[in-house]
Each structure stands twice: as structure tokens, then as C-alpha cells.
Amino acid sequence: ESATAFGCLLSDMWLGESDYVSPEAFHSIFGKRYPAFSRRTQHDAQEFLICVLDDLHEAFKEVSAQLGQERQSPAAGASTRSLSGTSIITELFEGQLNYAIRCLTCRALSDRPESFTVLSLPIPSTRVCSLQDCLECFFQPDMLTRNNQIHCYWCGGNRDATVKASITKAPEIIIFHLKRFAWQDKHRRKLSTTVCYPFSDLDLSPYISTSCCNNTEYSLCAVVNHAGDLDYGHYTAFCKHSVTKHWYSFDDAQVTKIPDSAVQADTAYLLFY
């Protein structure tokens, strides 16, 4: 099972008995469950990440359900744990968004909640911008008109509306996907925009609902980089050691300690806070 193979991979990494550890066994088993990732061709790291998180969630959710059933008390007739489909993955990575939709005819307001594990952020510039610029772009109010009109329950017809997103539950670990692959003039291309991101004190409070009581400040712990173009590329990662706080670069079989200044890279594709 891929969850077991993933656990073995983590164990091998933390034992530190080798200069590097190959994820070949995990990749092989995971590829059998998701054949699209079994071929040695270019794949998208964000799509792979979401599949891995979903797969681990399903595996750990099943284990949690079994443990809950085993711990059920015959006298009380109730389990000591909720079987609501939560797992260590949802506890760490899952957040909640709310889309507030206002009809521009009758002004009625409705809410549409949505869970997320990765936030895909647009890049509002072609040369240089900040992560805050990307967040502002994602969370700015938007107009729903023409083919995007809503069907208003109160008016009883298709109406223009505004929609504004906010975070109602901030996850313990928040993952940002920088949308570097975009359509322009009917052609898909990669944006090489420099996105400046903070290493610490990332404040998400401007985008968080007042009803949310979670922590709103985050520190960077990992970066996935993509070098190359649409048809050919190479992924590397920067990870911060949880004990020593030193940064390391992972580039295939090369694992090297790097200075903090090297972590800010134009190739950043996924940011983990």
C-alpha cells in the first residue's frame, strides 16, 4: 500500500544512514494506484501533491475508523472518536474558504463554503510581485455577469452578483500553488515572474473571517521549484530542518546545506507555510 511505502520512505529519510534516499519504491506503488504518474514523463507537482494527500487521507481515515470501532464501548454504545472522515492529513493541511455571494438586484447574500488543501494563487505581474500581491489578487471581490450569473433564490432568476472569498478555517500548514502555467493569446506558457515571499511573519489576517480563531501568522518551511518550460522541466526542493532550522536543497541525489538567501528563488512553484 502506498501509505505504508510512504511511511517507510519517511523512516529512511529520518534515520540518516545514507547521503540520500530514493523514493523509487513509493513511486512504484503509488504509480499502480494512479497510472497517470507511473510513466516517466513530465508531471505537475501540484497535481501529484494533491493525489498524494488524498491517498494518504483515505488510508489514514480507514485506520482511524477501525480504531474507533475497536474502542467502541458496549455499555455507552458510542465511539470515543468521531468517524467523520477526518485524518492527520485533514488536521494538518485542510482549510475552509467561504464565498460570500451578493445578488446585485435584490442584495440578498448567500454563502458557499469550500474546503481546500492547496490554494492556487494567480500571479498578477509578468516581471516581479510579492506573495501578498498574489493573495490580494485571489481574495479581491469579483463580478459574476453574463455566462457566470447566479440563479438567485430570492429573485427567482439569473442575476449579476459579486463574490468575495475569505478563510473561515486556517490550516496548520498552508500550501500555496503559484499559477505559473497560464493561457495567453490562446497559448499556454510559463510565467517566469519573480515572486518575493517572506520567510516568517506571513500575516493572513486580512483574508481571514472574523469568525475564525486560528493562528494567522505563518513561517516558510519548504519550497518546491520548477526549472524549465511547459514540455521539459526539473523539480527541486528547499526544506527547513525542524530542529536545526538550517535550509537544505534537494536535487535528485544531491542534498546540500544552503544559506537562507538562496531560498528566495525565481523558480518557486509551491510554497509551504
Strands (E) in 65-108, as ranges, are 95-103
pLDDT value, residue 79: 31
What are the φ/ψ torsions at residue 193 (nearest 5 degrees)?
A: -55, 135
pLDDT, tens digit, 9 for 90 and up, residues 61-92: 866 656 655 544 444 333 332 334 799 999 99
pLDDT at residue number 68:
56
Question: What pTM was computed for the model?
Answer: 0.88
- Which pLDDT band holds residue 183 (cuts at 50, 70, 90)? confident
Query: In the prediction, which pLDDT does 81 show?
Result: 28
Rounded to 5°, the CA angle 23-180-236 comes to 25
> What would the pLDDT profile of 113-130 be if each residue is shown by its tens digit?
999 999 999 999 989 999
Give 69 or 242, the one with higher predicted confidence.
242
Measured in whole angstroms, how far is the alpha carbon of residue 191 from the centre of its chain?
A: 19
**Quick one: pLDDT at residue 78?**
35
Single out the residue of 66, 55, 45, 33 nearest to residue 175, CA to CA: 45
Greatest mean pLDDT among 13-17, 46-50, 183-187 lies in 46-50
Q: Which of 12-16, 51-55, 68-72, 189-193 has the highest mean pLDDT?
A: 51-55
